[in-house]
Amino acid sequence: MFFVASLLAACGPGEPSDTDTEGEPTSTSTGPTTGEPPPTTSSGEETTGEPPLVGVECEQLAGPEGSAVEWYLRCGGNQHDYVFGIATDAAGDLYVAVELRAFDGAQTLKIGEFEVKPGEHSDILLIKLSSAGVPQWVRHFGGPKSQQISGLVACGDGFVIHGWADVGSLDFGGGPVEGTYVASFDFDGNHRWSRSLPVVDDATQVYFLAMTCDDAGQLALTGEFLGGVDLGGGPVSAAADGFVVTYDAAGEFQWAQQFGSAAESSARGRALAFTPGGELVMTGSFTGTVDLGGGPLTAVAFSDMLVAEYSAAGEHLWSRQFGGAGGQDGTAVAVDATGRVVVGGAFFDEIEIGDEKFVNENPEDPEELTSADDAVLVELDASGALLGSQHLATPLNDRVLDLSFGAADSLRFAGVADSAFSLRAFAGEEQTWEWSAKPLNAFPRAAWSGEEAVFVSAAPHGDVDLGSGALGPRGAADMLIARIRR
């Protein structure tokens, strides 16, 4: 029986719980602030109403009394502060990937006692926070042109990032990288390795859309490319193709697979998860006809959800599609200790899963005049056989952003329900915990810290409510990080 409770259940804050003893910072920095002081300008003067665009110091504040929010960190200024990845280590410390975009001029940003002076275009920040929110170190990577970061995951005894950089613009410590890149660091922020993906011409486009890593440091990435690129095993080309590629802990190429789309088709990977045996499960979407090794799959209408598993050596094991009228997309995937797979997806009109057909009854958002996706969860056994499915539907947008398994194979869910960011935890068929906030409308992300807490990050452009009323913006798109007790 499928064990995930419906997202139609009412959202609400979780209950407070005891907190752990937090570690000491590894370098001098300001500690967390207690209470909720009035907002101040950079000169320390108290303000009234919405803070002006002069606040350039990150504020670390206690969460609202009686809420599940233990603390939150807000940064703002003229620049846009986008969080594009967060991850935790075994000690509960947090690693954050931030991109600073200076659209309207930039200001010095102070994070604890670390000062960052953004460049003229876009810069990259890597930040380590203790579980108490104390900044441990900040690494700033800039250059004369544009450098971007798109993701971060914990990987073995460190973490890995990916992104894109202009030619001659970015060096993490192992030499210049350009175009689409991957880079690895230890937990002290020291560079371990980095590599660029060579392209055949300037028209080539390569996008990493997701990555995952196992405890040994084996890294897997998926996405799509147009044109020709060398993922590490030699040049490959396609009109519009999805791919999966893996690298070992030293950054050496292991294997890569294209989704095999025809010239009139396209494909993309959106999420990955390793199995306990070292196999790799991927989900995404495709149009037209693709063949991953198990025979051709043809999309029913616009695009179909795609799920596939590869062996540790990159061989195709099984692949499945789920389609219907409109478009369907796989957005998240997790594998438990038995090899059982749970896939999260989104669809606009309808989706057929086995004998079930789920229909989106609210495809249009009358307030925003935009499409309102419904979400779906699909459960498969280790061989790809269908075990069950569930429709997650509210009047507004619903989307599964991330799935993972915790202790005793408890499922952990991060997603959007009725356009609110929602976190859920399940033990078997029972939902054991939930928390939500609205709106966290720009790149919300979650990183689970054991069974006790979860970190949330976002870059809201306006007000956000963590449980005690709206927090006005500090600048353009603000960096917001919060620790939520479970």
What is the spatial distance between Cα 229 and Cα 235, in angstroms, rounded to a whole number? 5
pTM tops 0.75, yes or no = yes
For every residue of 405-424, DSSP letters joined together read: E-GGG-EEEEEEETTEEEEE
What's the 3-state SS for 45-93? CECCCCCCCCCCECEEEECCCCCCEEEEEEECCCCEEEEEEEEECCCCC
What is the spatial distance between Cα 95 and Cα 129, in angstroms, rounded to a whole number? 6
The answer to whether domain 59-362 has CATH 2.120.10 is: yes
CB atoms within 10 A of CB 202: 8
What is the spatial distance between Cα 469 and Cα 446, in angstroms, rounded to a whole number? 22
Paired tokens of 67? 């809420």
Are 246 and 218 contacting, i.e. CB atoms less than 8 angstroms apart?
A: yes
Paired tokens of 335? 């594998």
* Chain-centre distance for alpha carbon 83: 9
Chain length of the chain? 486
For residue 209, which of 245, 169, 174, 185 has the smallest C-alpha distance? 245
List the domain boundaries for the chain.
59-362
> Given 3-state DSSP classes, what are the helix, strand and coil percentages for the chain, each rounded to the nearest 5?
0, 55, 45
Are 250 and 281 contacting, i.e. CB atoms less than 8 angstroms apart?
A: no
What is the spatial distance between Cα 331 and Cα 283, in angstroms, rounded to a whole number? 7
For residue 197, which of 224, 230, 172, 170 has the smallest C-alpha distance? 230
For residue 451, which of 401, 405, 402, 400 has the smallest C-alpha distance? 405
pLDDT in tens, the chain (486 residues): 444 444 333 333 333 333 333 333 333 233 222 233 333 322 333 333 333 334 377 888 888 888 899 999 988 777 788 899 999 999 999 999 999 887 666 778 889 899 888 877 889 999 999 999 999 999 999 878 889 999 999 999 999 999 999 987 899 999 999 999 999 999 999 999 999 999 988 888 899 999 999 989 999 999 999 888 999 999 888 877 899 999 999 999 999 998 866 667 889 999 999 999 999 999 999 999 988 888 889 999 889 999 999 999 999 999 999 999 989 999 999 999 999 999 999 998 999 999 999 999 777 654 554 557 899 999 999 999 999 999 988 888 889 999 999 988 899 999 988 878 899 998 877 889 999 887 676 678 999 998 889 999 887 777 777 776 777 777 778 888 999 998
